[in-house]
Structure 1
Amino acid sequence: MALANTFPGLEAFALTRKPRWSMLVTLLIGASLAGSGCAAERGASSASSSADTPSVGTSITVSSSVGAGPPVDFIADVWVDNWFSLTVNGQAVGEDVEPITQERSFNSQTLEFTATYPLTLAVVSKDYMENASGLEYIGQSQQQIGDGGLIMQVREKASGRVVAVTSPEWRGLVIQRAPLNPDCVASSKPLVDCQSSTLVEPPEWTSPEFDDSQWPTATVYTAEQVGVKQGYEAISWDGSASLIWGPDLNVDNTILWRFSILRS
């Protein structure tokens, strides 16, 4: 996984939308991602999404709906093996500054944003894989199946109160699984021998109105099972925050996550 520091010196511009749920978001870090697509299975092809990446240091304002609470400053701490992006109330807030193509990258990242309750958190988490086979270090002596893991907490900046943590209550849709036949791990032709399954992101899945009731709930893992590395210990995690992933820590490679906080 890979994560990084925030960027100072922000410029601002206004962007107005009219969703049912809305918020005021201040980006204090650079790159961000907003994925979209149609719900459909694609054999062994890679998952696709359209990226909407604001400039580094951009401040984005989204109009608040009638009856929304006052703006609140939040801090989100994230550690993931290997990559993530975060959306709040349908608005891209930030993403891992290290690309998913970086094979070994382990550190934590902290994002700051301003939003109004209720909050809908939407996270994309990806484990590194060299290609659709799901393997890493292909052609090397340590050729293997990688594993994932995600932990996150969101707290109010002023009070320090934790309002959300990764837990079994999160709902996650696995959209890339490989290899479906793990015995291909030693293959010299993994793209030929390893089987995979890939789905496209459902449209508007980051929206607060999206119905995730049919999505499975998260599976909790221990730090030993995930094999946490650099950056994990740099964060003071709330005792209720759990390391989560899909039901298969090794085969599940890309997961869409959702969690809602109704009120402060």
Structure 2
Amino acid sequence: MIHHFLLFTLLALTMGCADKKAQTSTNNSVKTSDISAYQGTASITQGIASTQAEAIYSCDRGRKTNIGKITSTDQKEWVVPAETNYLNSEFPFASDLFNSCEGMNYKNAEEALSYYDNSSIIAVDPDGEVFTAYIFADNYFEMYVNGIPVGKDKVPFTQFNSSIVKFKAKKPFTIAMKLVDWEEHLGVGCEANRGKPFHAGDAGMVAVIKDSENNIIATTDENWKAQTFYTAPILDLSCVSEEGGYRYSKNCSTEGGQDGSSYYALHWELPTDWMKTNFDDSNWPNATTFSNREIGVNNKPAYTNFTSVFDASEKDAKFIWSTNVVLDNEVLVRYTIK
């Protein structure tokens, strides 16, 4: 009888532990949808990518800048957070407007320009006029003029920096930029933030272009075109939708959590000629604009030291991105200056 009682007690304790473990697992799990819930044109990946390159850039107090690869359900391979030219020595780096990673803590644009090396000017048109672009990107940009590479960001992730790109061109010319919100957790668009290891990062880019006489000839605003090509993290695939050229994730959760292994991501292939002047971007959405407060730059000297440029009284530049500044991680933007 004693043996039967002990056996019953042990069995009850085991079942109780099993129930408790199952409940804990259920409480911590992420509610995700079945892939069949997605009706759009993107390729779908789920979970964390494999790391292919570690620490491509190192900065004191900066986040680790890695590159990864992941395979989608349709057996396509994707580079995350994006396929960039950062390690391509033939694509020129932009000059520093502000770069604390390398000690270039300029107090204003005039000081930064005094250190500019004129041999860095890219000749799109050898007999053209010299134009200067001032750029703050969260986190990374690559800039083309008429399909010619003119500058890429020196700091892919953090600390936050800002840049100067000078080029020689004739009007009209087309600016095309690849913008990337980098990620700590490759493949799911997440970084550690606000007490959550898997928290969606936000983004944004602002630019001002001046002519050789220091006149503002263009700023980022709602007249630029912007299209997204990588969206993550997605907890429930039924939250995304497409309407013509629009790729919407505005109904998706941005809360993040403790475990991103079941998060989804959406990937679209980039057109090969997206940076060319004759590329047809007519079906791309217009850029969405965001305020300084929405982007959160009021405590970043890479921006605040240069408000006389970015927030000029005669032409206040707007931060731009695609329709979702939190979940859209790779965005292409275009604008023609006439």
Same fold (TM over 0.5): yes
Structure 2 counterpart of 1:227: 296
Structure 2 counterpart of 1:255: 331
Deviation (angstroms), 1:59: 6.5
Structure 2 counterpart of 1:217: 286
CA deviations 1:216-256 (Å, max 9, x no partner) are: 01111111111112311122223331011111121111100
CA deviations 1:6-25 (Å, max 9, x no partner) are: xxxxxxxxxxxxxxxxxxxx
Q: Does 1:176 align with 2:252?
A: no
Q: Does 1:111 align with 2:165?
A: yes
Distance 2:202 2:84 in 1: 25
SS at match of 1:224: helix
- Letter of the aligned partner of 2:322 in structure 1? G
SS at match of 1:256: strand
Distance 1:231 1:169 in 2: 25
| Structure 1 residues 63 and 106, CA gap change in structure 2 (3 angstroms) | closer
SS at match of 2:256: helix
**Which has more helix, going by share of residues?**
2
Structure 2 counterpart of 1:123: 177
CA deviations 1:13-57 (Å, max 9, x no partner) are: xxxxxxxxxxxxxxxxxxxxxxxxxxx843224455463542676
Larger C-alpha radius of gyration, 1 or 2?
A: 2
| Structure 1 residues 212 and 150, CA gap change in structure 2 (3 angstroms) | same
Structure 2 counterpart of 1:145: 200
Contact kept, 8 Å, 1:126 with 1:254, in 2: the verdict is yes
Distance 1:81 1:217 in 2: 19
Distance 1:53 1:217 in 2: 32
- Letter of the aligned partner of 2:293 in structure 1? E
Among 33, 49, 72, the residue aligned to 2:129: 72
CA deviations 1:196-220 (Å, max 9, x no partner) are: 1011211111111000000001111
Moved more, 144-153 or 51-60: 51-60
Deviation (angstroms), 1:162: 1.1
Moved >6 Å (runs of 4+): 55-59
| Structure 1 residues 164 and 210, CA gap change in structure 2 (3 angstroms) | same
Deviation (angstroms), 1:136: 0.5
Alignment RMSD? 2.4
Deviation (angstroms), 1:170: 0.5
CA deviations 1:147-175 (Å, max 9, x no partner) are: 00110011112x11111110000101100
Q: Does 1:91 align with 2:151?
A: no
SS at match of 1:225: helix
| Structure 1 residues 91 and 193, CA gap change in structure 2 (3 angstroms) | same
Contact kept, 8 Å, 2:124 with 2:169, in 1: the verdict is no
Structure 1 counterpart of 2:256: 185
- Letter of the aligned partner of 1:207 in structure 2? K
Q: Quick one: higher RCO (CA 8 Å, sep 6+), 1 or 2?
A: 1
Q: Does 1:244 align with 2:320?
A: yes
Q: What stretches of structure 1 of length at least 5 have no aligned partner?
A: 1-39, 65-69
CA deviations 1:99-138 (Å, max 9, x no partner) are: 3xx3x32121111111111110001111121211111128
Distance 1:133 1:154 in 2: 34
CA deviations 1:55-87 (Å, max 9, x no partner) are: 6766765567xxxxx510011000011111110
Work out the percentage of aligned pairs sharing the same amino acid: 27
